């Protein structure tokens, strides 16, 4: 009996210590905004700093994969300190909406195309990224592939590289095919493409580009900005690799290239709705858009914002943007489809 | 306790569509890969660990002492870091085989986990008496035969323990297999929970994984008991080092250096090279604030976990039959559970608790405290407790066991109060164990990835998360700064722990 | 007469014993001041539990323990171990590994100046010839040395009673004999009341004034060495102590009791014994004498060299095994037939 009492005191002391040190204030502050961002800090924090300088509103940021953040906001429920949610994929922001995690945005003063605004006004796009192909300059001629569906043809057997089906960019890509072709036909197309894989998916988009340069395959499916990043890399090795491949945009004669967006929404239980709107409007301003897009070599959603010279040089690209609003709906179908056809 | 109930209860929820989908399409893959990973790692660590343990126990060769220490260095290197490094190396050459597959994952994880088998096997070999070996020689056995037919069987409990520990860590691994693209149970759970947003199915998969894990846990606990008994043979003399011919010396030294080189030296040098010449990330104030945060977190967690372990161990000693003790025994199974699973099991109950408390507060006092538990370090440290409490309490426990209950009784018969017994007798003898426990948890928290990534609070980043993020983005060279810091932070503890473990045995 | 320690009707259980047997049942035992008592019995008989109950480590369920007339244990309460002023020496010595020898010994000393403590420690070390080792650590000492340290550590705070739990069980045979004598001398010199627990009867008989034989939680007999050896009260004690065999006793046609080896003098019988039908008698090796001239013969089946004598195991009439001590210059071979004679002072007879 002596012993347990001794420890009683010890335990109480310990609990107090823990309370003091580990409970950092989790209370929302009116002059701050809490952003849960699936986009890397480096690609957005400078803008937040500028926002802070201009408006005096401090922006706190937590980064993680969009999926994890969604889970977190969901678990946090009404007590969630989240004000803003940023993702790098249309499917994910749509999921957040479907889970009831977002509230209405007043888009009255937001000057962007309707395709990049949620039909229920729960989210707004911030930038565009195209998922397309790069190909080996040596082994593939320009314009040999004009449609995504071409990749399923027999002559491409063992020549295609792409990253895992776990990746949300691929999932949205497949979702867009389901929307455009219907699930049955889409499954056939994807199946054919998967059978043409040169190897089991591994690594991310940059690894696919490297694989093409190393002659492990001739075509890779990537987001366009990865290619540009390698072209501009500080590492000479990477630049050399990028020079051996070229990029092509597909389906220009029908629906347009597959486009995805990074998007922003306001958390349902945000206590700072007014400030949240201020931030969104700030991010949609011409200057912000230019910085935001350029820093990652993406396309801005703002109609008049300029892009990098390289992107300019590629001219106007036809985009399959009418399906953006639906990509989220078909995410689960896409994942299951990919599982069924063995896209690992 | 709650997390376990939560997990267990998920079995009873009817399987939904997603579950069927998984069973039809990928469950077999997950199962085969996870099992192969565990068995493969078990096998490789067995080979590397027992061979090096044998060579450093029985033979004498130049630099033997240093090599014996260095063989533990890979413990400072997280598996995913070493995977990232080798992928970076392999990508820039064209002749090396790609390791982004199951085989690669097995090799990578084995390279950093073989020290478990090494330590335990070496301890067992050193306990084997000289007489035994000489006896075998008279009966005509060659060194290799002695190794195979006498020493390994006698050291079996220790070896099985080491191998099982390595296999379980392999099963729980997330970062390495995710990065190398090997679909296993842990990545599958992650994908289902986050990617398909299906908590129920994810939990069911977690439960399935745990049932497999518990088989390993069972084996491990059985062999642990046998290890204790076998360490009581002190009557015969310990093994003495023997010197072999110069030709063999070189060969042996080389064999032992292999794991050190591949498991530590090569990756570490590569990371340094990248950091200095290629990395885009600079050693700026942002970086150092992450370093700071990580060290602080690890430090805090280590202290808290060590203290809790101390309490548990004492409760076990003084009231072995109490309910608290049984409770603690179950908690300590947490080390077998993969990170993402712990995160699920911890986040949901605590967030629910927070919301419940806030609802009451809002109704009564019209204000909310925000997230008390789940939004702060509390939940992170709680999760670390679940993961790391076992290793810490086992360390302290074995230290306390060396103080026999008779010693306590003797002190009592000499008039000492309980307080005096603790301060004058227990504490001096526990000092080493407490320190070791602290250091082990420190390293583990520094290396931890999936839990930290999911549960961390605002404006908080750790080196492991940062390194993994950059690496997943294929910015491998950029990840080198963070990776180096993790390894450096691990080296000192590993050296200190090594000194303790090997020092005790190195009386030969 | 002042009894130092009185144990009355003590019983002890540990909750769920296997057969729900008590660990100790109705133990009665007492010691005079400065007496050395011994509790002797086979493994598992409960002797260590009794010692621990006396020390205060175990709670008893009935009975009392009185020290100097004051109750220190009964079924309701216990004075704590620390307050009993008893010393204890444990089977594995339990020296504190992190302290040197002199600190170990000084551990129980309270309320003394540093100089006084040092003086006492040195005095005790000298008593057992260990003063050269005072700065060493326990693991540097041999088993015998550690045991001596454990002993003087327990003696240092001048306890009123000292308890020793199998103190010689880990000592090498060649020094054990001397050590037993030395410890007895020391305890007598310090005039300290002692209880020793052991399973070794030769230790018991050489160190103690008074021996209690224990079996299955009960005390079978209390007495000195001679009484126990020659007048065991039951078959267990007769069997446990010393060597011996049993031979049957029958009443012949003439109404005289006889054994296979000859007639018995009925005057040496007790009245009670004569009532029973099936009797047997204890024959110790010293009850059977080797006499070459005797007409009674037995065959040697085993033989042990014991220095001054041989212990012969014999077979009489192809039926009865016998033990016999013979001086060692009578060296007979196995299978040989030798002459024997029965020479018993005191009959020890039990019902079969």
CA atoms within 13 A on the CB side of B445: 32
CA distance C169 to C180: 11
Contacts with A58 from chain B: Cβ below 8 Å: none
pLDDT at A23 over 60: no
CA distance B270 to B82: 10
User: What is each CA distance from C338 to B332, C243, C286, C318, C324, in whole angstroms?
Assistant: 72, 20, 16, 14, 11
Q: If interface means Cβ-Cβ distance under 8 Å, which residues of chain C face chain B? A: 55, 57, 81-82, 86-88, 90-92, 94-98, 107-108, 110, 150, 153-154, 156-157, 163
Q: Which residue of B has its CA nearest to C94?
A: B407
Return the residue in B193, B363, B368, B456 with the most chain A beta carbons within 10 A, the one to mutate for interface testing: B368
pLDDT at B154 over 80: no
Q: Which residue of B has its CA nearest to C91?
A: B406
CA distance B277 to B82: 19
Q: What percent of chain B has pLDDT over 90?
A: 11
Average pLDDT in the A172-194 region? 94
Contacts for B430-435: CB closer than 8 Å, 24+ residues apart: B430/B310, B430/B396, B430/B399, B430/B400, B430/B403, B432/B399, B432/B500, B433/B395, B433/B396, B433/B398, B433/B399, B433/B400, B434/B306, B434/B310, B434/B396, B434/B399, B435/B496, B435/B500
| Tens digits of residue pLDDT in B46-98 | 999 999 988 888 777 778 888 888 998 898 889 999 998 998 888 777 778 87
pLDDT at B370 over 70: no
Instruction: Select the more confidently predicted residue: A300 or B129.
Output: A300
Answer whether C90 sits within 8 Å of B417, measured CB to CB. no
Average pLDDT in the B322-336 region? 65
Q: What percent of chain C has pLDDT over 70?
A: 95
Contacts with C151 from chain B: Cβ below 8 Å: none
| Tens digits of residue pLDDT in A192-251 | 999 999 988 877 888 899 889 888 899 999 999 999 988 888 778 888 889 999 999 999
> Other C-beta atoms within 10 Å of A9: how many?
9
Quote the minimal CA–CA distance from B429 to chain C in Å. 6
User: What is each CA distance from B106 to B45, B177, B256, B495, in whole angstroms?
Assistant: 10, 9, 20, 26
Answer whether C96 sits within 8 Å of B407, measured CB to CB. yes
Quote the minimal CA–CA distance from B329 to chain C in Å. 23
- Confidence band of A26 (pLDDT split at 50, 70, 90): very low
Run of H or E residues at C351: strand C349-351
Among A229-238, B161-170, C34-43, C247-256, the range of highest mean pLDDT: C34-43
Contacts with B404 from chain C: Cβ below 8 Å: 92, 94
CA distance A264 to A90: 10
Answer whether B355 sits within 8 Å of A201, measured CB to CB. no
Answer whether B371 sits within 8 Å of A79, measured CB to CB. yes
CA atoms within 13 A on the CB side of B364: 7
Stretch 417-436 of chain B: residues touching chain C, C-beta under 8 Å:
417, 424-425, 428-429
| Tens digits of residue pLDDT in A102-145 | 999 988 878 788 889 998 999 999 999 999 999 999 999 888 88
Q: What is the pLDDT of residue A22?
A: 52
DSSP code of C78? Answer: B
Q: What is the pLDDT of residue C14?
A: 65
- Confidence band of A6 (pLDDT split at 50, 70, 90): very low
Counting as contact any 3 or more CB pairs under 8 A, the partners of A are B
pLDDT at B231 over 80: no
- CB-based contact, B232 to chain C, within 8 Å: no
pLDDT at A100 over 60: yes
Answer whether B416 sits within 8 Å of C82, measured CB to CB. yes
Contacts with C82 from chain B: Cβ below 8 Å: 412-413, 415-417
pLDDT at B1 over 50: no
Contacts with C16 from chain B: Cβ below 8 Å: none
Burial class (CB in 10 A: 0-12, 13-18, 19+), B338: buried
Q: What is the pLDDT of residue B451?
A: 84
CA distance A321 to A329: 15
Q: Which residue of C has its CA nearest to B402?
A: C97
Answer whether B413 sits within 8 Å of C86, measured CB to CB. yes
Average pLDDT in chain A: 86
- CB-based contact, B235 to chain C, within 8 Å: no
Only one residue has tokens 């002993």, namely: C151
Q: Which residue of A has its CA nearest to B457?
A: A62
Least confident of B417-426, C150-159, C165-174: B417-426
- Identify which of C98, C157, C163 has the shortest CB distance to residue B414: C157
Contacts with B430 from chain C: Cβ below 8 Å: none
- Identify which of A79, A235, A335 has the shortest CB distance to residue B370: A79
Answer whether A24 sits within 8 Å of B454, measured CB to CB. no
Contacts with C153 from chain B: Cβ below 8 Å: 410, 414
Contacts with B183 from chain A: Cβ below 8 Å: 344
- Identify which of B404, B415, B429 has the shortest CB distance to residue C94: B404
pLDDT at B151 over 80: no
Run of H or E residues at C3: strand C3-12
Q: Which residue of B has its CA nearest to A16?
A: B304
Strand partners, C88: C163
Instruction: Select the more confidently predicted residue: A286 or B226.
Output: A286
Contacts with A332 from chain B: Cβ below 8 Å: 18, 196
Answer whether B425 sits within 8 Å of C82, measured CB to CB. no
Average pLDDT in the A262-273 region? 92
Average pLDDT in the B201-220 region? 77
Run of H or E residues at B255: helix B246-260
Stretch 319-348 of chain B: residues touching chain C, C-beta under 8 Å:
none
CA distance A308 to A325: 27
- CB-based contact, B413 to chain C, within 8 Å: yes
- CB-based contact, B479 to chain A, within 8 Å: no
Quote the minimal CA–CA distance from C153 to chain B in Å. 8
Contacts with B425 from chain C: Cβ below 8 Å: 96, 98
Counting as contact any 3 or more CB pairs under 8 A, the partners of B are A, C
* Phi-psi domain of B284 (left: phi exceeds 0; alpha: psi -120 through 50; beta: other): beta
Average pLDDT in the B148-175 region? 82
On whether the CB atoms of residues C215 and C45 are closer than 8 A, the answer is yes
Answer whether A344 sits within 8 Å of B318, measured CB to CB. no
Q: Which residue of A has its CA nearest to B309?
A: A11
| Tens digits of residue pLDDT in C312-335 | 888 888 888 888 888 878 788 888
Quote the minimal CA–CA distance from B190 to chain A in Å. 9
Instruction: Select the more confidently predicted residue: B268 or A24.
Output: B268
Quote the minimal CA–CA distance from A108 to chain B in Å. 31
| Tens digits of residue pLDDT in C271-288 | 666 666 778 888 888 888
pLDDT at B436 over 90: no
Return the residue in A6, A15, A75 with the most chain B beta carbons within 10 A, the one to mutate for interface testing: A75
Q: At what angle do helices B427-447 and B480-505 cross, to 10 degrees?
A: 150
CA distance A214 to A199: 13
Sign of CA dihedral B149, B151, B156, B160: negative
* Phi-psi domain of C216 (left: phi exceeds 0; alpha: psi -120 through 50; beta: other): left
Q: Which residue of A has its CA nearest to B477?
A: A235
Answer whether A75 sits within 8 Å of B472, measured CB to CB. no
> Other C-beta atoms within 10 Å of A53: how many?
9
User: What is each CA distance from B218 to B116, B223, B224, B254, C28, in whole angstroms?
Assistant: 18, 9, 10, 37, 48
Q: Which residue of B has its CA nearest to C151?
A: B410
Average pLDDT in the B168-193 region? 85
Stretch 159-188 of chain B: residues touching chain A, C-beta under 8 Å:
180-181, 183, 187
- CB-based contact, B96 to chain C, within 8 Å: no
Average pLDDT in the C222-233 region? 86
pLDDT at B465 over 80: yes
Answer whether C55 sits within 8 Å of B413, measured CB to CB. yes
Instruction: Select the more confidently predicted residue: A144 or A5.
Output: A144
Distance from CA of residue A123 to its chain's centroid? 14
Quote the minimal CA–CA distance from B123 to chain C in Å. 20
**Non-local CB neighbours of C78 within 8 Å, separated by 6+ positions:** C56, C59, C60, C72
For A317, phi and psi rounded to 5 degrees? -110, 135
Structure tokens belonging to residue B31: 């199962």
For B461, phi and psi rounded to 5 degrees? -135, 150
Q: Which residue from C149, C155, C161 is spatially nearest to C96, judged by alpha carbons?
A: C149
């Amino acid at each position: 009996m002596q012993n347990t009492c001794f420890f009683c005191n010890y335990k109480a002391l310990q609990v107090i210590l823990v309370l003091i040190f580990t409970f950092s204030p989790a209370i929302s502050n009116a002059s701050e905004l809490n952003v849960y961002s699936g986009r890397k800090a480096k690609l957005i924090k400078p803008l937040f700093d500028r926002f802070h300088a201009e408006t005096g509103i401090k922006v706190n940021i937590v980064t993680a994969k969009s999926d994890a953040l969604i889970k977190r906001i969901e678990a946090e429920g009404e007590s969630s300190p989240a004000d803003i949610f940023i993702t790098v994929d249309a499917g994910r922001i749509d999921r957040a909406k479907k889970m009831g995690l977002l509230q209405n945005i007043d888009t009255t003063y937001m000057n962007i195309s309707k395709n990049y605004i949620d039909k229920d006004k729960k989210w707004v796009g911030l930038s565009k990224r195209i998922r397309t192909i790069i190909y080996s300059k040596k082994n593939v001629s320009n314009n040999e592939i004009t449609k995504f569906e071409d990749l399923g043809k027999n002559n491409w057997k063992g020549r295609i590289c792409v990253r895992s089906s776990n990746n949300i960019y691929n999932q949205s890509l497949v979702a867009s095919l389901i929307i455009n072709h219907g699930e049955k036909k889409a499954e056939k197309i994807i199946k054919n493409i998967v059978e043409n894989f040169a190897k089991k998916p591994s690594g991310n988009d940059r690894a696919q580009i490297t694989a093409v340069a190393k002659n492990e395959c001739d075509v890779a499916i990537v987001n366009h900005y990865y290619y540009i990043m390698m072209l501009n890399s500080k590492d000479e090795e990477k630049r050399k690799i990028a020079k051996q491949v070229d990029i092509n945009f597909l389906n220009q004669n029908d629906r347009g290239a597959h486009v995805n967006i990074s998007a922003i929404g306001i958390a349902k239980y945000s206590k700072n709705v007014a400030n949240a709107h201020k931030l969104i409007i700030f991010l949609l301003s011409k200057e912000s858009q230019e910085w935001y897009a350029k820093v990652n070599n993406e396309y801005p959603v703002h109609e008049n914002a300029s892009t990098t010279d390289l992107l300019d040089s590629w001219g106007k690209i036809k985009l399959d943007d009418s399906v953006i609003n639906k990509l989220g709906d078909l995410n689960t179908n896409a994942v299951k489809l990919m599982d069924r056809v063995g896209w690992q | 306790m709650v997390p376990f109930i939560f997990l267990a209860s998920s079995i009873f929820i009817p399987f939904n569509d997603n579950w069927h989908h998984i069973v039809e399409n990928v469950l077999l893959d997950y199962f085969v890969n996870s099992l192969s990973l565990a068995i493969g790692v078990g096998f490789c660590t067995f080979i590397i660990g027992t061979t090096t343990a044998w060579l450093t126990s029985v033979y004498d060769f130049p630099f033997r002492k240093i090599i014996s220490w260095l063989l533990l260095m890979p413990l400072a290197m997280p598996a995913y870091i070493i995977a990232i490094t080798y992928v970076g190396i392999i990508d820039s050459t064209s002749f090396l085989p790609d390791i982004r597959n199951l085989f690669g994952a097995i090799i990578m994880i084995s390279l950093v986990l073989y020290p478990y088998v090494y330590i335990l096997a070496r301890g067992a070999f050193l306990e084997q008496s000289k007489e035994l070996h000489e006896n075998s020689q008279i009966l005509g056995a060659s060194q290799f035969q002695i190794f195979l037919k006498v020493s390994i069987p006698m050291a079996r409990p220790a070896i099985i323990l080491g191998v099982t520990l390595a296999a379980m860590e392999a099963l729980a691994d997330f970062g390495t297999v995710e990065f190398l693209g090997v679909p296993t149970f842990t990545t599958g759970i992650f994908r289902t929970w986050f990617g398909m947003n299906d908590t129920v199915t994810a939990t069911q998969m977690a439960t399935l994984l745990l049932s497999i894990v518990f088989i390993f846990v069972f084996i491990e606990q059985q062999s642990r008991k046998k290890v204790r008994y076998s360490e009581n043979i002190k009557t015969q003399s310990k093994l003495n080092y023997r010197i072999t011919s110069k030709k063999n010396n070189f060969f042996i030294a080389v064999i032992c250096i292999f794991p050190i080189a591949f498991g530590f030296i090569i990756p570490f040098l590569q990371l340094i090279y990248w950091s200095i010449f290629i990395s885009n990330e600079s050693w700026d104030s942002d970086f150092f604030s992450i370093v700071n945060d990580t060290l602080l977190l690890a430090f805090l967690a280590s202290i808290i976990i060590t203290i809790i372990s101390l309490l548990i161990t004492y409760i076990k000693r003084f009231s072995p039959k109490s309910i608290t003790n049984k409770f603690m025994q179950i908690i300590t199974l947490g080390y077998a559970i993969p990170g993402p699973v712990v995160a699920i099991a911890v986040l949901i109950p605590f967030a629910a608790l927070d919301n419940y408390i806030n609802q009451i507060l809002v109704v009564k006092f019209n204000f909310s405290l925000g997230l008390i538990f789940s939004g702060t370090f509390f939940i992170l440290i709680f999760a670390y407790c679940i993961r790391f409490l076992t290793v810490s309490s086992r360390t302290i426990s074995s230290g306390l066991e060396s103080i026999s209950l008779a010693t306590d009784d003797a002190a009592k018969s000499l008039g000492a109060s309980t307080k005096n017994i603790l301060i004058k007798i227990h504490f001096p003898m526990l000092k080493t164990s407490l320190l070791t426990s602290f250091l082990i948890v420190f390293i583990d928290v520094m290396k931890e990835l999936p839990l930290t990534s999911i549960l961390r609070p605002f404006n908080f980043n750790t080196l492991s998360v940062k390194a993994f993020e950059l690496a997943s983005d294929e910015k491998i060279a950029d990840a080198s700064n963070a990776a180096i810091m993790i390894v450096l932070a691990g080296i000192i503890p590993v050296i200190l722990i090594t000194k303790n473990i090997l020092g005790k045995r190195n009386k030969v | 007469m002042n009894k130092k320690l009185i144990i009355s009707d003590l019983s002890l259980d540990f909750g769920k014993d296997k057969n729900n047997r008590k660990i100790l049942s109705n133990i009665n035992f007492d010691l005079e001041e400065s007496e050395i008592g011994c509790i002797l019995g086979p493994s598992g008989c409960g002797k260590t539990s009794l010692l621990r109950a006396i020390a205060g480590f175990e709670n008893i369920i009935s009975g009392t323990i009185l020290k100097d007339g004051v109750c220190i244990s009964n079924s309701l309460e216990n004075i704590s171990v620390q307050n009993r002023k008893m010393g204890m020496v444990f089977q594995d010595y339990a020296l504190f590994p992190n302290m040197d020898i002199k600190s170990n010994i000084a551990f129980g000393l309270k309320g003394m100046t540093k100089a006084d403590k040092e003086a006492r420690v040195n005095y005790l070390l000298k008593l057992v010839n260990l003063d050269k080792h005072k700065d060493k650590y326990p693991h540097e000492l041999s088993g015998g040395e550690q045991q001596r340290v454990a002993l003087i550590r327990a003696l240092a705070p001048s306890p009123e009673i000292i308890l020793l739990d199998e103190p010689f069980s880990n000592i090498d045979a060649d020094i054990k004999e001397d050590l037993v004598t030395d410890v007895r001398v020391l305890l007598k010199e310090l005039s300290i009341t002692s209880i020793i627990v052991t399973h070794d009867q030769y230790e018991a008989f050489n160190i103690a004034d008074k021996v209690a034989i224990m079996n299955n939680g009960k005390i079978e007999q209390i007495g000195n060495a001679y009484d126990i050896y020659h007048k065991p009260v039951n078959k267990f004690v007769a069997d446990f102590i010393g060597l011996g065999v049993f031979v049957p006793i029958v009443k012949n046609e003439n109404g005289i009791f006889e054994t296979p080896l000859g007639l018995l003098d009925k005057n040496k019988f007790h009245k009670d014994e004569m009532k029973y039908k099936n009797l047997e008698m204890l024959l110790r090796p010293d009850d059977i004498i080797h006499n070459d001239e005797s007409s009674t013969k037995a065959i040697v089946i085993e033989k042990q060299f014991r220095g001054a004598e041989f212990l012969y195991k014999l077979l009489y009439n192809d039926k009865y095994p016998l033990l016999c001590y013979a001086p060692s210059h009578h060296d007979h071979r196995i299978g040989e037939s030798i002459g024997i004679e029965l020479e018993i002072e005191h009959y020890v007879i039990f019902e079969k």
